[in-house]
Amino acid sequence: MTTLIVGGYGSVGRTIAGELATASDGPSSVVVAGRDETKAATVAAELGENVSGIAFDLQRTDLYARVLEDIDHVVMCVDQAGTAFVEACLERGIDYLDVTASDEFFRRVERLDDVARDHGATAVLSVGLAPGVTNLLAKRMTDQLSTVSEIRIGVLLGLGEAFGPAASRWTLERIGREFTVFDAGRSRPVRGFVTPEPIEFPRYGRRRAYSFDFADQHVLHRTLDVPAKTYLCFDSRAVTAAVYGLSRFEVYRPTAEAIGLDRLTGLVSTLSVGGEGFAVSVEVDGQQDSNAKTLLRAIDGEEQSRVTGLVAANVSMAIHGTSVPSGVYHVHEILDSESILDVLRERGYRLTNSEQVRETSNPVTLMS
């Protein structure tokens, strides 16, 4: 089996390539691809003889046939505006996995479900930390409850980590931007980094996080038919408060436009006002028998981009090591969380579980 990693020399792609190249049950060969042939070749040389590097520009649709020849599986680490390349993969019966965090793109790929089924291919979306691990944790807890009323997801990012420019830009352009959430039986608009919510992060304590347009809230609502909301904060309380103030008083977006998003992304990448730690926390409110419960599962550690790479590599191997049906799926729809979480535990990431039982007026909290 040959796996093509598009964007394979970025921080996430490099982790995926390294994991697949060294795994005993990984593909027989790995191809690292990107617009810069020298970078692709350099990473390939570092990873061993079964890894090669090629130049590939996603905008060049005329190259698709040549690049996809003899490829069995594609892992995409580059954001795309359209689905031409996804369609090219699925029409050739090539399995496809995407680490993007854009729900707009997810919706477009979901419409290709019939294409994937007709050609015996599987596409897996929501593969990473958020979305990805958050989806798996949420699905695990909803399965433990008889009814679910709401899912809340908190993401805490360390500002000391060297994020790639694409990831930084994606985050910056969503601050202060309006999006829609499903709440109290109806859709309502909210703005990014404006609506506060106290979130418990076991390593960092209780933090005030703010509404943010992560894809997992939309995906979980579509697939589980449960209201879900996502919130973001940073390890620096001062930066979190400053971003909230700029967003709430509608100063951020005019300022970002005046500076220019590309320039602002460059400026942010030079700052180091926090650590490299991250945390995600997923809380699910619901009912089990006669008890009202809130279940919490959280994970924390360092280098959140590495987690995305580890998850993607292991999902890639899992869909080839098990019988996965053809079609387009989000990760929680076809894989159990425990196999992925076991990998993260082995790599030093900490998982925490807690449960609040509200059988009486005094909740009882159980930790593990």
Q: Which domains does the chain have, with CATH numbers?
A: 2-127+305-340 (3.40.50.720), 129-304+348-357 (3.30.360.10)
Average pLDDT along the chain: 91
pTM of the model: 0.91
76 SS3 class: strand
Q: Which residues contact 118 (CB under 8 A, 6 or more apart)?
A: none
**Mean pLDDT along residues 171-186:** 88
pLDDT at 301 over 70: yes
Tokens (6 digits) for 367? 């930790």
Q: How far apart are CA 329 and CA 308, in angstroms?
A: 18
Give the model's pLDDT for residue 263. 87
The 8-class DSSP code of residue 227 comes to: -
Say which range, 17-26, 115-124, 240-249, has the weakest mean pLDDT.
17-26
**Mean pLDDT along residues 67-80:** 95
Give the model's pLDDT for residue 346. 94
Q: How far apart are CA 88 and CA 84, in angstroms?
A: 6
Instruction: Let me know the angle formed at the C-alpha of 334 by 329 and 338, rounded to the nearest 5 degrees.
Output: 135
Q: Which residues contact 73 (CB under 8 A, 6 or more apart)?
A: 1, 2, 3, 4, 27, 94, 95, 96, 97, 316, 320
Q: How far apart are CA 48 and CA 45, in angstroms?
A: 6
Q: Is residue 323 very low, low, confident or very high in pLDDT (cuts 50, 70, 90)?
A: confident
Q: How far apart are CA 149 and CA 112, in angstroms?
A: 31
Tokens (6 digits) for 51? 């890894």
19 sits in which H/E element: helix 11-22
For CA atoms 234, 238, 239, 242, the dihedral sign is: positive
Q: What is the number of alpha carbons within 13 Å of residue 318 lying toward its C-beta?
A: 20
Give the model's pLDDT for residue 159. 80
Q: Is residue 364 very low, low, confident or very high in pLDDT (cuts 50, 70, 90)?
A: very low
309 vs 361, more confident:
309
161 vs 50, more confident:
50
pLDDT at 360 over 50: no
Phi, psi of 310 (to 5 degrees): -65, -45
pLDDT, one tens digit per residue, over 1-45 is: 899 999 999 989 999 999 999 988 888 899 999 999 999 999 999
For CA atoms 58, 64, 66, 70, the dihedral sign is: positive
**Mean pLDDT along residues 340-367:** 76
257 SS3 class: helix
pLDDT at 321 over 80: no
Phi, psi of 367 (to 5 degrees): -115, 150
Q: What percent of the chain has pLDDT over 90?
A: 75
Antiparallel, parallel or unpaired: β 147-157 and 178-183: unpaired
Q: How far apart are CA 10 and CA 326, in angstroms?
A: 29
328 sits in which H/E element: strand 327-330
Judge whether 79 and 99 are in contact, CB under 8 Å.
Answer: no
pLDDT at 221 over 90: yes
Other C-beta atoms within 10 Å of 120: how many?
Answer: 13
Q: Is residue 362 very low, low, confident or very high in pLDDT (cuts 50, 70, 90)?
A: very low
